[in-house]
Structure 1
Amino acid sequence: MTKLSVNINKLATLRNSRGGNMPDLLQSARDIEAFGAQGITVHPRPDERHIRYQDTRALKEIVTTEFNIEGNPIPKFIDLVLEVKPTQVTLVPDAEDAITSDSGWDTIKHKDFLVEVISTFKENGIRTSIFVDPVAKMVEGAAKTGTDRIELYTENYAKAFAKGDKAGIKPFVEAAKVAHDTALGINAGHDLNLENIQFFKQNIPHLLEVSIGHALICESIYLGLENVVNMYLHRLK
């Protein structure tokens, strides 16, 4: 079964919009795990507009499933990850003012940088994953960085699926095959939702984990958080 890691950034955004501690981020993480999710993901950005660095430290103390921290490996982020020591760190080439992640790494251009950062995390016992577009040469480049896994950036798949174009899955299938052939684990995320997740799971071989936040929280407004977590788990079987 593909694991579901729930990104709780949006819950932090809601909390921050009013101040105080509603919703309680730590209790939300506990509840999401209790509902069956196999991981919690956070993406702290330098401006801390949703997940704060201190949230990440606090979550480390209470998360009992897999804890995944994703972000751009600037020095401040690297220091946080080395302090917290999550199960997994996912490296994303975000600009500081990015609204959300919008592209994968150029693993050829940035190979030396990625090799250095990844080796530091792995020396500290932290599994590594890097965000990549579904392009064979970028996946092959990722394999040369020493990373344990890649996370396929799935926005283009989601857009195509919403238009009824199921052929949009093809580049992801090919990228997953290349990843498996080069001994990389395969994660995926971005714009996956209840409508498109099952088709993605059925067609992507060796899919280990999906990280879902924005859609899952939006769907939960109508359907309830516990119900939605279990709807994802059912589709990922």
Structure 2
Amino acid sequence: MTKLSVNINKIATLRNSRGGNVPDLLKMAKDIEDFGAQGITIHPRPDERHIRYQDARDLKGIVRTEYNIEGNPVEKFMELVLEVKPTQVTLVPDAENAITSNAGWDTVKHKDFLREVITEFKRNGIRTSIFTDPDTKMIEGAVATGTDRVELYTEAYASAYEKGDKSGITPYTEAAKVANSLGLGINAGHDLSLDNVRFFKENIPGLLEVSIGHALIAESLYLGIENVVNMYLNKLK
């Protein structure tokens, strides 16, 4: 079964909008795990506009499943991850002012940098994953960095699927086959939803984990978060 890691950034966004502690991010993380999710993901950004760096520290004592911290490995981010020591760190090349992640790494161009960062994280017992486009050259390049996994950036797939074009899955299937052949674990995330996640899972051999936040939280406004978590789990069986 593919694991579901719930990104709780949007819960932090809602909390921050009023300046208090409603909703309670830590309680929500615990509840989401109780509802069956196998992981919690956060993506702190330098301006702390949703997840705060202190949230990352506080969650360390709360999360009982897999704890995944995403972000661009600038110095402040690296210091945080090395302090918290989550289960997994996912390296994402997002600009400081980016609204959301919008591209994967060029693993060939940035091989030396990524290898240096990944070596440090792995030395501290942290599993590593690189956010990548579904490009076989980028998957092949990821091997040279020493990463444990790649996370396939799924916005293009989700956009095509919404338009009724299921052929958008093809580059992802090919990228997954290459990753499997090279011994890389496969994660995926970005714009996956209840509508498109089952088809994606069925066509990605060896898919270990999906990280879903925005769609899951939006769907929960209508259907309730416990129900939605279990709907995802059912689709990922």
Post-superposition shift, 1:150? 0.2
Post-superposition shift, 1:29? 0.1
Q: Report the 3-state secondary structure (helix = DSSP H, G, I; strand = E; otherwise coil) of the residue aligned with 1:10.
A: helix
What is the aligned residue count?
A: 237
Corresponding position: 1:88 with 2:88: yes
Structure 2 residue aligned with 1:40:
40
For 1:22-43, what per-residue CA distance to the aligned partner results, in whole angstroms no more than 9, with x for missing partners? 0000000000000000000000
Distance in 1 between residues matched to 2:36 and 2:51, nearest whole Å: 22
Structure 1 residue aligned with 2:210:
210
Q: Report the 3-state secondary structure (helix = DSSP H, G, I; strand = E; otherwise coil) of the residue aligned with 1:18.
A: coil
Post-superposition shift, 1:192? 0.1
Structure 2 residue aligned with 1:167:
167
Equivalent positions of 1:114-193 (< 5 A) are 114-193=114-193
Distance in 1 between residues matched to 2:225 and 2:126, nearest whole Å: 29
Identical pairs, percent: 77
Structure 1 residue aligned with 2:200:
200
For 1:150-197, what per-residue CA distance to the aligned partner results, in whole angstroms no more than 9, with x for missing partners? 000000000000000000000000000010011000000000000000
Structure 2 residue aligned with 1:63:
63
Post-superposition shift, 1:203? 0.5
| TM score, norm. by length of structure 1 | 1.00
Distance in 1 between residues matched to 2:132 and 2:180, nearest whole Å: 14
Q: Report the 3-state secondary structure (helix = DSSP H, G, I; strand = E; otherwise coil) of the residue aligned with 2:17.
A: helix
| Structure 1: 4+ residue segments shifted above 3 A | none
Q: Report the 3-state secondary structure (helix = DSSP H, G, I; strand = E; otherwise coil) of the residue aligned with 2:67.
A: strand
Structure 2 residue aligned with 1:53:
53
For 1:51-93, what per-residue CA distance to the aligned partner results, in whole angstroms no more than 9, with x for missing partners? 0000000000110000000000000000000000000000000
Post-superposition shift, 1:221? 0.1
Structure 1 unaligned spans of 5+: none
Corresponding position: 1:235 with 2:235: yes
Distance in 2 between residues matched to 1:94 and 1:199, nearest whole Å: 27
Q: Which amino acid aligns with 2:90?
A: T
Distance in 2 between residues matched to 1:204 and 1:177, nearest whole Å: 8
Distance in 2 between residues matched to 1:180 and 1:60, nearest whole Å: 31
Distance in 2 between residues matched to 1:173 and 1:190, nearest whole Å: 16
Distance in 1 between residues matched to 2:102 and 2:23, nearest whole Å: 27
| TM score, norm. by length of structure 2 | 1.00
Structure 2 residue aligned with 1:110:
110
Q: Which amino acid aligns with 2:213?
A: G
Distance in 2 between residues matched to 1:235 and 1:60, nearest whole Å: 28
For 1:80-136, what per-residue CA distance to the aligned partner results, in whole angstroms no more than 9, with x for missing partners? 000000000000000000000000000000000000000000000000000000000
Q: Which amino acid aligns with 1:166?
A: K
Q: Report the 3-state secondary structure (helix = DSSP H, G, I; strand = E; otherwise coil) of the residue aligned with 2:101.
A: coil
Q: Which amino acid aligns with 1:183?
A: G
Structure 2 residue aligned with 1:18:
18
